[in-house]
A = this chain, B = another copy of it.
Amino acid sequence: MVNEGDSQGEAEGDPGTVRPGGRTARVRAAVLRAAEDALAEHGFARLDLGDIARRAGVGRTTVYRRWGTVTALVADVLADMAEQSERRADTGSLLADLRANARLVQRTLTDPRQAALFKAVIAAATSDARTAEAMHRFYQRRISEWSPCVEQAIERGELPEGTDPAEVIRAVSAPLYYRLLASGDPLGPDVADRAAEAAVAAARAGAYVRIVP
């Protein structure tokens, strides 16, 4: 879900893709990009701040002073991924919106670099509580970004009152992550479309109406 337009390595090389904010922002962009590359190539266990500084063309001291630990750097990678992620769709149709969401997740999880990056973060989160927290924040932000698609469908009368928007958004992504991480079944665009259709059908039937305690 990272902005693929910013994949040129050295930010200075292509002014069109430089994130706004001057040198500090350019250093952050270069370091985060280098951290993503290292995560995708070797995983979390072999991350090293010195190696990332070298890849980014940035002084080691800068990296150690700004991020301090590998865990803090990965948390910043996740915050940046959330910031750079695509905005939600707004087509006026719940099914079309959720299909756009499912296709975005499916493209992300089948892009070799992005899939490796997500797998590395998810693997790290299974054994590192701070990485898990940062990853959960990433997913909360993505769920919040897409929830208005469901809220609008409720307002339009497409879905029952009391439907939990977050639960519908989770239902779109879940089958894709299950295939990526557990069952290993193919993960094509047809699977994405089916995930969107199933979420809409279940939501229409009231399966995601909030449970009042």
Chain A positions near chain B (C-beta within 8 angstroms)? 43, 45, 119-120, 122-127, 132-133, 135-136, 139-140, 143, 167, 170-171, 173-175, 177-179, 181-185, 190, 194, 197-199, 201-202, 204-208, 211
Classify the secondary structure of A's interface with B. Answer: helix
Distance in Å from the Cβ of A32 to the closest Cβ of chain B?
20
Alpha-carbon separation in the docked complex, A207 to B170 (Å): 17
Cross-chain contact B173 with A178 (CB below 8 angstroms): yes
Closest to A123 in B: B123
Which 4 pairs show the lowest CB-CB distances between chains A and B?
Answer: A136-B184, A201-B205, A174-B178, A198-B202
Contacts of A185 in B (CB 8 A): 170
Contacts of A184 in B (CB 8 A): 132-133, 135-136, 139
Contacts of A120 in B (CB 8 A): 126-127
Extra contacts, 10 of them, besides A190-B211, A205-B205 (Cβ < 8 A), are A122-B122, A122-B123, A123-B126, A125-B181, A140-B183, A170-B175, A170-B179, A173-B178, A174-B177, A201-B204
